[in-house]
Amino acid sequence: MSAMSAGRSALRMGPAELVQAAAMARRFYLEGKSKIQIAEEFGVSRFKVARVLETALERDLVRIEIRVPAELDAERSDALRARYGLRHAVVVESPAEEQDDAPDPENLGEVAADLLGELVNEGDVLGLAWGRSTIHMAAALDRLPPCTVVQLTGVYDAGTAERGSVEAVRRAAQVSGGEAHPIYAPMLLPDPATAAALRHQTGIARAFEYFDKVTVAAVSIGSWEPGISTVHDMLSDEERAHYASLGVAAEMSAHLFDTEGRRVGRDLGERCITVEADRLRRIPEVVAIAGGQRKAAAIGAVLRSGLVTSLVTDTAAADYLLTESAAPQRPALERADPDGA
C-alpha cells in the first residue's frame, strides 16, 4: 500500500465513527461543551475527542466559516493591527469610484460609531475632536452607554458650530443620556494671547477641566494639503509655506507631524483651542478615523506618533500602510513620544 493510500485509509471513517464524530462535533461547536465534558459523556479520553474533532474537520464533516459584513475587510484589519501595534484596526471597503479630492468616505463614520458603541462603558468620558469623519460618526450613533461627552477642539468656523463639532457633541450626549460640554470657540486664533484669554472663559475652561478625565477619544487626521486638513485651510499662504518647510506631513487636532511622527511647528498649538498632545497621549483609548489614498501617508505619520491606539480606515489607505517601506518604529500601544520628550 502506498503512503498516500495509507493516509486516505487512516482518514476513512465507518458509519459508527461518523455518527460519533457528528455527535461530538455537535456538543463542541453548537452546544459549547468542553472536550473534557464530551470525553466523560462518551467514555473516552479528551485526547480521543480532540482527534475525532480534528478528523471531522479534515473529512469535511464539520465546516467552519468566518463571516463578517461584506464592507469589512477582516484580513487587512488584522494585518494592520499587528503591523502598527494597534489595539483595534477596522478596515472598510473603499468606494468603488473614489475621487482623488474626496474627503473621508462617509461609511468610516458609520463603522466608527459602531466601534464606539463597543468601546465606551457606562461612566466613561468621551472626547470628540473636530473633523468631518467625527461629525459623520456622531450623526450615525444609535447606541452609547451613559457617559459624559466633551469637545476636544474648537470649531473650524464658529459660524458652522451648530452643524459641526458642537452638534456632534450634543448628538453623542443625547444618545448616551449624559452631559455635554461643547466649546463655542474657533480652533485657530490670531495670536497666542487671544487663545489664552479664551481658554479662561467659563464654558471653555469647564470643558478643558474634563480633558484629563477623558477615557475614549475620537479624532480625525488630515494631510498637509488643501481640502484635506482644515487647519491647513485656515492658515495664510505664508503660514502654510512656513510649516511645509518644517516637513509637515500630517495634522491631527491642530498638532503637526513629520513623516516619522515627530511633532513640528509647536508654536501653532499656542494659537489653538485644542487638547494638548501630552493629554491626548494619556487618554487610554484614542480612535483615529481617516481614509483615502490622499491621507494614507498622513495616517502612517500619526500612527508613528504614539498618540492613537486604534484606527478606522478604508482599503485604499490600508494597502498603502501595509506596504510602505518605513515600518513603524514603536507600536502605538507603547504611546511613546518620537521626540523623546
Closest CA to 323 of 298, 301, 296, 303: 296
Task: List the pLDDT tens digit at each of the 341 positions of the chain.
Answer: 333 333 333 456 666 777 888 889 889 988 889 999 999 988 899 999 999 998 888 888 887 765 555 578 888 999 999 899 899 999 998 876 555 445 567 788 889 999 999 999 999 999 999 888 888 899 999 999 999 999 999 987 644 444 577 899 999 999 999 999 999 888 999 999 999 999 999 989 999 999 999 999 999 999 888 777 888 888 888 998 899 899 999 999 999 999 999 999 999 989 999 999 999 999 999 999 999 888 999 999 999 999 999 999 999 999 999 998 665 656 677 777 887 65
For residue 295, what pLDDT is reported? 92
For residue 160, what pLDDT is reported? 44
For residue 69, what pLDDT is reported? 58
